[in-house]
Homo-oligomer: A and B are copies of this chain.
Amino acid sequence: MNETPSPGDLTSAAITKPLDDVIDSDAFIPRLLALLSNALVWRESMLLRREFSLGTNDWRVLSALGVRPGSSATDVSEFLVMNKAVVSKAVNVLISRSLIASTDGPRGSRNLFLTPAGVDMHNMMLPISLAGEDALLSQLSAGEVAQLRVLLGKLMSQIPRLANKET
């Protein structure tokens, strides 16, 4: 690989005094959210792969079709806020495993349903996800969990603003 192209006299003025930086501290909420989310996804991914040889995306799509049977791939993509390509791949995995099946839909689309085997798989996978939430929330009282839901709900309302390209 390539080394630094510029001459080597820049190290002479290296900065040794710490900046006052909050970004990577426990006071910075975006970092806490990222760490928590990563830990949960990591756990779920590890367990689903180990137990059922399925990825989290496969599980998410399976789960979505449990709630909304007859959805098209595009419907699932919008419902789960998930990339179309990812849904496409997950659908193929699930079909090849005979966990979902499809009928022809309105506009060249396909209506997707769980098969009985898919329902069984769903019922086996669901406890793993729920146990993750339980473990996460185990130190909170019922009141605190309710509080947390309210607060996260308010944060969720800001997502459209975050997705805006300005500032």
Contacts and interface: CB of A to CB of B under 8 A. Distances in A.
Interface of A: 1-6, 10-11, 13-19, 21-30, 32-44, 46-47, 60, 63-64, 66-70, 79-81, 92, 95-96, 98, 101-103, 113-119, 122, 126, 129-133, 135-140, 144, 147-149, 151-159, 161-163, 165, 167
A28 B37 CA distance: 12
Contact of A152 (B36, B39, B60, B158): B36
Given A5-B96, A149-B27, A149-B29, A68 B18 contact: yes
B152 A43 contact: no
As for how many copies of this chain the complex holds, the number is: 2
Contacts of A139: 154-155, 157-158
A115 B19 contact: no
B162 A116 contact: no
Given A33-B40, A98-B6, A13 B126 contact: no
Contacts of A147: 147, 151
User: Which 6 residue pairs across A and B have the least CB separation, nearest first?
Assistant: A19-B66, A14-B113, A11-B101, A37-B37, A33-B37, A15-B114
